[in-house]
């Protein structure tokens, strides 16, 4: 089999268990690395992207708790950068150990990545992505008055701050990322969907937003002309009629079929839908690319038996 360039999109929950300590997250990444290294053993070039939802949420809690005039809380774009750094640090060490065990001589590097969004994106007028802690209605109203932030009630669990979730239009560092891959380096990149920035002349400015990790991974895969986008989730395959008597597992499907299922509202907006949409966008915008949606634990079977939900033109 010819060597492939593969972008693997890891969820933030693949890193964080019920224990939010650094040690527990590092242990989770040790297991994750043991699965990811199978791509390298298979002879493929690997680019790893990752979520940071739970981690950035915890960091925001810490920032709020310690916020004083002399030690002010950091803005959201900076918190995304901070979690890119911490998760990347843990992941590159875990992967380095997994490679070392197998006597594979490869460098791993974490890259702080800025993702360019359009300041006229309609998402900026309709903040929808919850971030940070749950508050009571009174606390949320007080905070909205104080900071002009937008808070919304979240599934009966309390009120949360919501921020825009614009679509990525480019990855600022995509050329460097591709150069790293072509030189045999494994980059860890677009962490948490990337740091959202807008272009002002020759300057990039961070904005208060969160970019969906799967869409950022899709855009990166497209820009570096990857052969395969692997979107990891909690199940081995995508299903239609999920949890119903006529539930059906999807194995090999075309873009047209997947669009039909979207029209039937088969996929939940907050979970599977963005993964499906990102997979479709990559396949449509790449020359010969395909996308696979599956679980981390299923990777071995993806490589040996072509398992998972495979989306093609």
The reply to whether 236 falls in a domain is yes
The domain spanning residue 39 has which CATH number? 3.40.1160.10
What is the pLDDT at residue 203?
A: 95
What is the pLDDT at residue 186?
A: 98
Weakest mean pLDDT among 148-162, 190-204, 274-288: 148-162
Please give the Cα distance from 35 to 175 (Å, whole number): 27
Q: Where are the alpha helices (DSSP H) in the chain?
A: 22-41, 53-65, 76-101, 137-147, 174-182, 213-223, 255-263, 272-285, 299-305
pLDDT digits (tens, 9 = 90+) for 62-105: 887 888 889 998 988 999 999 999 999 999 999 999 999 999 99
Check pLDDT > 80 for residue 191: yes
Mean pLDDT over all residues of the chain?
Answer: 91
Check pLDDT > 80 for residue 133: no
Buried b (16+ CB within 10 A) or exposed e, 90-117: bbbbbbbebbeeeeeebebebbebbbbb
What is the pLDDT at residue 13?
A: 63
The reply to whether 214 falls in a domain is yes
The reply to whether 307 falls in a domain is no
**pLDDT tier at 3 (50, 70, 90 boundaries)?**
confident
**pLDDT tier at 41 (50, 70, 90 boundaries)?**
very high
Determine which helix (DSSP H) or strand (DSSP E) holds 209, and give its type and residue range. Answer: none
Catalytic residues: 12-13, 129, 213, 275
188 close to 174: Cβ distance less than 8 angstroms: no
The reply to whether 310 falls in a domain is no
Nearest to 50 by CA among 94, 97, 4: 94
The reply to whether 159 falls in a domain is no
Please give the Cα distance from 187 to 27 (Å, whole number): 20
pLDDT digits (tens, 9 = 90+) for 239-288: 999 989 999 999 999 999 999 999 999 998 878 999 999 999 999 999 88
pLDDT digits (tens, 9 = 90+) for 204-253: 999 999 999 999 999 999 999 999 999 999 899 999 999 899 999 999 99
What is the pLDDT at residue 80?
A: 92
The dihedrals phi and psi of 67, each to the nearest 5 degrees, come to -70, 120
Q: Is 181 helix (H, G, I), strand (E, B) or coil?
A: helix
**pLDDT tier at 12 (50, 70, 90 boundaries)?**
low
The reply to whether 306 falls in a domain is no
What is the pLDDT at residue 109?
A: 98
Please give the Cα distance from 262 to 266 (Å, whole number): 6
Number of domains in the chain: 1
**pLDDT tier at 148 (50, 70, 90 boundaries)?**
confident
For residues 118-136, average pLDDT: 88
Better-scored residue on pLDDT, 53 or 286: 286
Check pLDDT > 90 for residue 121: yes
**pLDDT tier at 1 (50, 70, 90 boundaries)?**
low
What is the pLDDT at residue 252?
A: 96
Better-scored residue on pLDDT, 58 or 175: 175
Residue ranges making up the domain that contains 201: 5-127+164-301
The reply to whether 102 falls in a domain is yes
What is the pLDDT at residue 230?
A: 96
The reply to whether 226 falls in a domain is yes
What is the pLDDT at residue 181?
A: 97
């Amino acid at each position: 089999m010819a060597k492939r360039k593969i972008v693997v999109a890891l969820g933030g929950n693949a890193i964080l268990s019920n224990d939010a300590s650094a040690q527990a997250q590092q242990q989770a990444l040790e297991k994750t690395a043991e699965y990811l290294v199978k791509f390298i053993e298979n002879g493929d070039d690997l680019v790893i992207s990752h979520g940071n939802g739970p981690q950035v949420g915890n960091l925001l809690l810490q920032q709020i708790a310690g916020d004083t005039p002399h030690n002010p809380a950091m803005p959201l774009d900076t918190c995304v950068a901070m979690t890119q750094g911490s998760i990347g640090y843990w992941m590159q060490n875990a992967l380095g150990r997994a490679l070392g065990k197998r006597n594979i001589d490869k460098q791993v590097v974490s890259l702080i990545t800025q993702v360019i969004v359009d300041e006229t994106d309609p998402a900026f007028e309709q903040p929808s992505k919850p971030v940070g802690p749950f508050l009571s209605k009174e606390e949320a109203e007080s905070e909205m008055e104080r900071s002009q932030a937008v808070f919304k009630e979240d599934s009966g669990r309390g009120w949360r701050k919501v921020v825009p979730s614009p679509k990525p239009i480019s990855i600022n560092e995509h050329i460097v990322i591709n150069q790293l891959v072509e030189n045999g380096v494994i980059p860890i990149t677009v962490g948490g969907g990337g740091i959202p920035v807008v272009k002002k002349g020759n300057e990039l400015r961070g904005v208060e937003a969160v970019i969906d990790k799967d869409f950022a991974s899709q855009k990166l895969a497209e820009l570096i002309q990857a052969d395969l986008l692997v979107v990891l989730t909690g199940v081995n395959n995508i299903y239609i009629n999920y949890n119903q008597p006529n539930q059906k597992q999807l194995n090999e499907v075309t873009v047209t079929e997947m669009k039909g299922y979207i029209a039937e509202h088969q996929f939940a907006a907050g979970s599977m839908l963005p993964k499906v949409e990102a997979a479709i966008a990559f396949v449509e915008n790449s020359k010969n690319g395909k996308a696979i949606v599956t679980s981390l634990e299923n990777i071995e079977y993806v490589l040996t038996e072509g398992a998972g939900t495979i989306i093609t033109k």
